[in-house]
Chain A
Amino acid sequence: MHALEDVRMKILREVKAIAKTTTILILVAVVVVAAVGGGLYYSTITPVPTVTTPTVTTPAKPPKPTGPLMVYSALHEFEIGRICSAFTEETGIEAKFLRASAGELAARVEAEGKKPIGDVVLGGPCLNHENMKAKGLLLQYKSPTATEIDAKFHDKDNYWYGFYLGAIGFCVNTARLKTLKFAEPKSWKDLLNQTYKGEIVSSNPATSGTAQTIFATILQLYGWDAGWEYLKALHKNVHHYETAGAAPAQRVGAGEFAIGLAFGHDIQKIIVGGYPVKLIFPEEGTGSEIGGLAIIKDGPNPAAAKVFVDWMLGKKAGQLHTDISLRVSTRKDVTLPLGAVPLEKIKLMNYDYKWAADNMSRILKEWEKVVAG
């Protein structure tokens, strides 16, 4: 009898233990699933304003778009900040931004793929917008404000719009040149002078729109083979390549280097800041960029993005942008502030941005070989 009791007790204990185990495991599983599920649910909520598609024949007016708007921009951080604040003030739509160089932004938009985080790409040479258009990453949108700007600055198919222009120039620190007793460079050819070894700063074409424009300029000016000969020779004089295109101008302004390659408007900022630098445009002619603005396809807030594009291409935004950045606007009715150089005064070559867009990955691969030595 006792033996049976013992066995029964033993079985009861085992069953109790197993029941206890199962309960605890179930509880743990429930907690984990709840936490993870809750987290997933929370993270997949994106504040997308719904534009109601009308089911009645009379089209209903869509509700006013609300924020937030996510701006990806290659402009300077303080410039984007000012632009976004002005936009929010005027439209009430909250705007957040991420600053990265043009090439970085293009890579980011591509990497985000079908789930973009950004709504618009503001600035950077249009060759990047061309490439994004070719990869199907942009939203086609016909902006009513765009008609106020000459059509030659826009994409024919309404995927991107040009809102500023810029030309590549040399940023030259006159004080440093004097100390080093170097002559001022006046042409692309002058830069190859061996005296400038280690004194030139440029930017990295993998990330910077400025650098992409420089490279495309040289290769179009001299042709592919002679152009690479030039770039290889120039590489010997370049101290290093910055990630951001405007950085060479800043370094030259600080007096660290004698010559920097950058867009004229970025160099102008340094001059206006009071630093001993001079802006020189090369004699042979220089390349120019059209600064692009586009809406990212399948972005979180396309309604607000359209409002932004319409606003950015308008006169008020254009004047604000030119005032703070010294960039030349594509709008004829925007006045250039003191310090900005009108493009008519510069010897521009016939820069083909489409060629630049089509050949940029080829250029990057070739350049990597040059830098590797």
Chain B
Amino acid sequence: MSLILKTVRTYLKDPTTTGLYLTLFSFMLVFFLWPLLAMVLASAEGPSGLSFSYYADFLARKLLVNSFWNSLTMATISTISATAVGFLFAYAMTRVDMPGKRFFRGVVILQLISLPFTVGLSFMMLFGRRGLITYGLFGRPFEIYGWHGLWAVQTLTFFPLAYLVMVGILKSIDPALEYAARNLGAGSGHVFRDVVLPLSIPGVASAALLVAMNVLGDFGNPALIAGDFSVIATEAYMQIVGWGDFKMAAVLCNILFLPVFVLFIAQKYWVSRKLYVTVTGAPTQLEIKKSGKLVKWTLFFFCSAISLVIVLIYASIGLGAFTKTWGVNYSFTLEHLQYVTFQGIPAVRNALIFSLCSGFVCAILGVLDAYIIFRKRMPGRQILDFISTLPAAVPGFLLGIGYILSFNTPPLVLTATAYIIILNNIVRDLPTGYQAGMAGIQQVDVSIEEASTNLGAGTFQTLRNVVVPLLKSAFGAGFIYAFIKCMTTVSAVIFLITPEWNLPSPIILGLAGHGYWGQAAALSAILLVIVVSTLLICRVVAGRRIQLFEV
């Protein structure tokens, strides 16, 4: 009893924090936990009360069960290859003095900010039956559709994620340890095997889990290139769009969410705890030892090969936008651009408005979230921390379907409005804003705020006069990340769009799926130009103050 009173008193003593706390909790409750619950309820609803008949039905339908195993298989192999590529890239960028690092960095960032299914689209154009490379160059029939095509596409799409994580890890390994090992007589290979590798394994695991979660939630690439190899993402979509069966779609999503949830818990509470930080805040004076020529040039060749493929991908998108009929007639034309500018302008306008709104709210909520959780010892902050990072694990389409199910009936009717898309974006990108906020908070020394409190300022004043100004760059970073993600998202919003509120990514997917590659490429190109320009503008305006993509 006294504990409750103590808790209540803690809350009442700090009204600003309590207010923020309640706002954040209720926001996440209504717009995140409630749709998740709706998904669970929908799948367990029988003719009379709770029943698992739909799950039994799922097990009886071989096609659906196959799609589950297919999803897991793809998650496994794509994760392994993406993590391996990401590790090699990260190692090459941090510990090898090879030339062209700025170029490689640019390539990786380009891949990070583009549409999630760009690789799938361009692979169809380059390596399809009439692909520029497989048919135009080699004239050989090559089958890109299927799991192997999807594997290659997902590896290329998600290795930058693994790279981002592992660059951070590798950078944080103090070279002093390697010097010590060499002093004791170890050769380069021995040092790598016994010092670098063990220290980076938690980072590798962390990266692998992140990639796996993304692969499981990938919708665009399987829709384009998997052919008849169905995965849960595409099957859930088909259940809704073809059969009108929301319950079975809910079943599929929930079944997929189980392994994803396990991965999330593993990543959050096991792997991240084991991350070895061998560097304290002070920068090290030791330079990383130069690697041998063989290692250096092998890695250089490897990175170049991957980068070449990525450059090809974007070149094909750019080219496809201006060719009349890809695969048949390569004459120059502006008709795709015209068609897309005419039809796609409202959608692009919507995307910009939504992304600006969502990005802004996300950044604010993320910073406040991080502040409350890390600076204020309020009871229940671990729950808020968990809820704030969980959306990253939830597959986009699960949340999209959940939103349709929960916000189609009173008390809160949001379907067919712009709000449902904006709110969905905010919730899905909150982990991004939260992490940006976390990174920012950790750079601000506690003593500054303590000084403010010592001088008599309450939480609100401290927030306003000390924290917010210091966290402006964290806010900026969170905003940009969230903005870019909102512009390119497809998995969730494909269920939420209406003729009134259409978005470019689903349009591109639709065009590509019907074989209108020229138009799909044109709209993709426009979207990419917008996103890249935003990044560049931000770079120019904010300069070094906003740290983005610390690669």
* Contacts A24-B15, A255-B130 given; does A111 touch B498 at CB 8 Å: no
In which size bucket is the chain A interface?
Answer: 35 or more
Bound complex: CA A349 to CA B257 (Å): 48
In the complex formed, the residue of A with least CB distance to B500 is: A96
B172-183 to A contact mask, C-beta < 8 Å, 1/0: 000000000000
Q: Are B128 and A369 in contact (CB under 8 A)?
A: no
B230-250 to A contact mask, C-beta < 8 Å, 1/0: 000000001011111010000
A40 contacts the other chain (Cβ, under 8 Å)? yes
* Contacts A254-B327, A256-B128 given; does A107 touch B242 at CB 8 Å: yes
User: Which of A108, A244, A255, A372 sits near B62, CB closer than 8 Å?
Assistant: A372
A142 contacts the other chain (Cβ, under 8 Å)? no
B145 contacts the other chain (Cβ, under 8 Å)? yes
Q: Are A206 and B242 in contact (CB under 8 A)?
A: yes
B102 contacts the other chain (Cβ, under 8 Å)? no
B487-528 to A contact mask, C-beta < 8 Å, 1/0: 000000000001110000000001001111000000000000
**Which residues of chain A have C-beta atoms less than 8 A from B325's C-beta?**
254
A113-134 to B contact mask, C-beta < 8 Å, 1/0: 0010100000000000000000
In the complex formed, the residue of B with least CB distance to A70 is: B499
In the complex formed, the residue of A with least CB distance to B328 is: A254
Q: Are B241 and A104 in contact (CB under 8 A)?
A: yes
A243 contacts the other chain (Cβ, under 8 Å)? yes
Q: Are B19 and A24 in contact (CB under 8 A)?
A: yes
A250 contacts the other chain (Cβ, under 8 Å)? yes
Task: Pick out which of these stretches binds chain B: A13-21, A216-224, A284-292.
Answer: A13-21
Within 8 A of B (CB), among A74-89: 77-78, 81
Q: Are B242 and A104 in contact (CB under 8 A)?
A: yes
A207 contacts the other chain (Cβ, under 8 Å)? yes
Least CB distance, B522 to chain A, in whole angstroms: 14
A247 contacts the other chain (Cβ, under 8 Å)? yes
A139 contacts the other chain (Cβ, under 8 Å)? no
* Contacts A43-B413, A250-B514, A371-B228 given; does A106 touch B328 at CB 8 Å: no
User: Which of B12, B130, B244, B414 sits near A110, CB closer than 8 Å?
Assistant: B244
A28 contacts the other chain (Cβ, under 8 Å)? yes
Q: Are B514 and A106 in contact (CB under 8 A)?
A: no
Within 8 A of B (CB), among A232-264: 239-244, 246-247, 250-251, 253-257
**Which residues of chain A have C-beta atoms less than 8 A from B61's C-beta?**
368, 372
A204 contacts the other chain (Cβ, under 8 Å)? yes
**Which residues of chain A have C-beta atoms less than 8 A from B227's C-beta?**
239-240
Bound complex: CA A369 to CA B66 (Å): 12
In the complex formed, the residue of A with least CB distance to B63 is: A372
B46-65 to A contact mask, C-beta < 8 Å, 1/0: 00000000000000011100
**Which residues of chain A have C-beta atoms less than 8 A from B533's C-beta?**
none
B8-24 to A contact mask, C-beta < 8 Å, 1/0: 00001101101100110
Q: Are B12 and A18 in contact (CB under 8 A)?
A: yes
In the complex formed, the residue of B with least CB distance to A367 is: B63
Bound complex: CA A78 to CA B500 (Å): 18
Bound complex: CA A103 to CA B414 (Å): 25
**Which residues of chain A have C-beta atoms less than 8 A from B5's C-beta?**
none
In the complex formed, the residue of A with least CB distance to B502 is: A98
Q: Are A107 and B243 in contact (CB under 8 A)?
A: yes
User: Which of A21, A107, A243 sits near B240, CB closer than 8 Å?
Assistant: A107
A9 contacts the other chain (Cβ, under 8 Å)? no
**Which residues of chain B have C-beta atoms less than 8 A from A20's C-beta?**
15
**Which residues of chain B have C-beta atoms less than 8 A from A43's C-beta?**
413-414, 416-417, 419
How many chain B residues touch A (CB < 8 A): the figure is 49
Least CB distance, A301 to chain B, in whole angstroms: 13
User: Which of A207, A254, A257 sits near B238, CB closer than 8 Å?
Assistant: A207
**Which residues of chain B have C-beta atoms less than 8 A from A369's C-beta?**
62-63
In the complex formed, the residue of B with least CB distance to A198 is: B143
B408 contacts the other chain (Cβ, under 8 Å)? yes
* Contacts A97-B499, A255-B327, A364-B243 given; does A240 touch B228 at CB 8 Å: yes
A39 contacts the other chain (Cβ, under 8 Å)? yes
Bound complex: CA A117 to CA B227 (Å): 32
Q: Are B228 and A206 in contact (CB under 8 A)?
A: no
Q: Are A372 and B242 in contact (CB under 8 A)?
A: no
Bound complex: CA A32 to CA B408 (Å): 21
Least CB distance, A273 to chain B, in whole angstroms: 9
**Which residues of chain B have C-beta atoms less than 8 A from A54's C-beta?**
none
* Contacts A115-B408, A247-B514, A371-B63 given; does A240 touch B145 at CB 8 Å: yes
Least CB distance, B410 to chain A, in whole angstroms: 10
Q: Are A28 and B19 in contact (CB under 8 A)?
A: yes
Least CB distance, A117 to chain B, in whole angstroms: 5
Q: Are A244 and B19 in contact (CB under 8 A)?
A: no
In the complex formed, the residue of A with least CB distance to B30 is: A36
**Which residues of chain A have C-beta atoms less than 8 A from B343's C-beta?**
77, 81
Q: Are B228 and A373 in contact (CB under 8 A)?
A: no
In the complex formed, the residue of A with least CB distance to B408 is: A115
* Contacts A32-B23, A250-B515, A368-B63 given; does A204 touch B327 at CB 8 Å: no
Least CB distance, A10 to chain B, in whole angstroms: 13
**Which residues of chain A have C-beta atoms less than 8 A from B510's C-beta?**
99
A44 contacts the other chain (Cβ, under 8 Å)? yes
Bound complex: CA A111 to CA B250 (Å): 14
Q: Are B513 and A244 in contact (CB under 8 A)?
A: yes
**Which residues of chain A have C-beta atoms less than 8 A from B241's C-beta?**
100, 103-104, 107-108, 206-207
Q: Are B513 and A107 in contact (CB under 8 A)?
A: no
Least CB distance, B31 to chain A, in whole angstroms: 11
Q: Are A254 and B515 in contact (CB under 8 A)?
A: yes
B412 contacts the other chain (Cβ, under 8 Å)? yes
B129 contacts the other chain (Cβ, under 8 Å)? yes
A188 contacts the other chain (Cβ, under 8 Å)? no
**Which residues of chain A have C-beta atoms less than 8 A from B19's C-beta?**
24-25, 28
Bound complex: CA A371 to CA B62 (Å): 9
B binding-site residues for A, Cβ under 8 Å: 12-13, 15-16, 18-19, 22-23, 26, 61-63, 66, 128-130, 145, 227-228, 238, 240-244, 246, 325-328, 339, 343, 404, 408, 412-417, 419, 498-500, 510, 513-516
A-B contact pairs, 23 of them (CB 8 A): A18-B12, A25-B22, A32-B23, A42-B417, A78-B339, A98-B499, A99-B510, A103-B241, A103-B242, A117-B416, A117-B500, A204-B238, A206-B243, A239-B145, A243-B514, A250-B515, A253-B328, A254-B326, A255-B130, A257-B129, A371-B63, A372-B62, A372-B66
Given contacts A78-B339, A243-B513, 18 further A-B contacts (CB under 8 A): A20-B15, A25-B22, A32-B26, A39-B419, A40-B412, A98-B499, A104-B242, A106-B244, A111-B404, A206-B243, A240-B145, A244-B514, A247-B513, A251-B515, A254-B326, A254-B328, A255-B130, A372-B66
A binding-site residues for B, Cβ under 8 Å: 17-18, 20-21, 24-25, 28, 32, 36, 39-40, 42-44, 70, 77-78, 81, 96-100, 103-104, 106-108, 110-111, 115, 117, 204, 206-207, 239-244, 246-247, 250-251, 253-257, 275, 364, 368-369, 371-373
